[in-house]
Amino acid sequence: MSDKKPDQQASEPGADHAGDAPTSPEIYIEISQEGIEEMERPSASLFWSAIAAGLLVSFSLIVKAALYAETSGLSFGHAIDSLGYTIGFILVIFCRLQLFTENTITPVLPTIAKPTPKNCWNTSRVWGISLVGNFIGTAIMAALFVFTPIVSEATFDAMMSISTKVAELGFLESLVKGMPSGLLIAALVWMRPSSGNSFLGLVFLIIYVIALGDFTHVIVGSCEIFLLAWEGERAIAPMMVNNILPTLIGNVIGGTALFALLAWAQVKDEL
């Protein structure tokens, strides 16, 4: 995501002007402009922002696990611990950091409109840097969980239990469960220009649905996979192939192949 300030966003086309909700073409233009700005950012800026995003989104696992440790015996425990999953995403989104799954729509929209070699290369560059940086951030956090007393024993045990459930998913199940996450996060990005002061509530609601549905997310999932690897529970290579790769594919299908292409199709004749 770009580093624009809220007052800068409010002055742009489609930004909740005069209390009027922006039209779909206006939303497309605004998000496309964000995508262009992302593709023009230096690689180093994208990289450090992506690492920070990986660090912060890992708090979704921490808080979810802390609530899981307290409520796992309750019939409605999953509904409560899923609340914790929202925290990391709220931190990343409102800190305007580079989270890979948001980039499955933002730089894609201008590239769909103008699929030039330059745009295709820059989209690939943003995707690659975001993904690698996010993984570095989650790997660092997972190492801290394992090798330092940064979380309580009860929370750590809950984190291991949650992570093991994710690692036990097969290739196809990880892929299919990744599609709703990509679709919902792309929808969240699309709603931002028209959400105004309600955006925090929308972030909370959308991410809560992802957690409640046990849908997979490639970046939070990578923290869970790295946690198991650093603890010596499972080999990292099979988990990357059987869990992270299909989740990545599913997130991209949901965010790009489904939402971004449909968003482009509905406005292309009006632009």
- CATH fold for domain 22-267: Glycerol uptake facilitator protein (1.20.1080)
User: Rounded to the nearest 5°, which phi and psi values hold at 50?
Assistant: -70, -40
Name the packing angle between helices 43-57 and 59-71 (round to 10°): 10
**pLDDT for res 92:** 96
What is the value of pTM for the model shown? 0.88
Weakly modelled stretches of the chain, pLDDT under 50: 2, 4-18
Give the model's pLDDT for residue 12.
45
Q: What is the reported pLDDT for 7?
A: 47
Residues 249, 103: Cα–Cα separation, whole Å: 14
d(CA 201, CA 206): 9
**pLDDT confidence of residue 22:** 84
